[in-house]
A and B are shown apart, each in its own frame.
Chain A
Amino acid sequence: SQKIEQNSEALNIQEGKTATLTCNYTNYSPAYLQWYRQDPGRGPVFLLLIRENEKEKRKERLKVTFDTTLKQSLFHITASQPADSATYLCALVPYSGSARQLTFGSGTQLTVLP
């Protein structure tokens, strides 16, 4: 069956370090992989999208990689700050699908300690 797994429910790191979050998938052929941020009591907010034929995408302190051989995406936040503390969700759009078939992982709760 299709499955999306994100590493550990919670991740604590020290301010200034790089946070690395993992998204693994099985039995999918994703065309796109997205990352969202969700703060407590708020809706998810889109951060980055990476396509199947892209290896890496960057946006300010954020970097996403996509390895279709390993069936894995890594999400990095460099020079992390307490304000980066939130839950981060990965989501897949299958190759033949669209936003209408977006499927989410359960998220990783990141806490950046001052």
Chain B
Amino acid sequence: NAGVTQTPKFQVLKTGQSMTLQCAQDMNHEYMSWYRQDPGMGLRLIHYSVGAGITDQGEVPNGYNVSRSTTEDFPLRLLSAAPSQTSVYFCASSYTMTGKRAFFGQGTRLTVV
């Protein structure tokens, strides 16, 4: 099994550009989430989904959009990139919201110039 697959691994954007970070899992997990990792702050939850068609905001949702049209995919959209969104982004999934274990993708390093 591939687990959680994120693409791309690296991306450079200009301020104001938009882009989509892709996340796919092949474990039939209900719960999927996006985190951002910033130096000295650990990982913080951006958005999450408890199933197809259901999404909600996490701790730092501003400037990001998500959708969940299938169980497998959970893309994260940056609507108008800002330098403050320079970060490493992780997608994670677990069987359910209360699942004991989260599986993480390999992360995307995004730089906004």
Do chains A and B interact in one complex? Answer: no
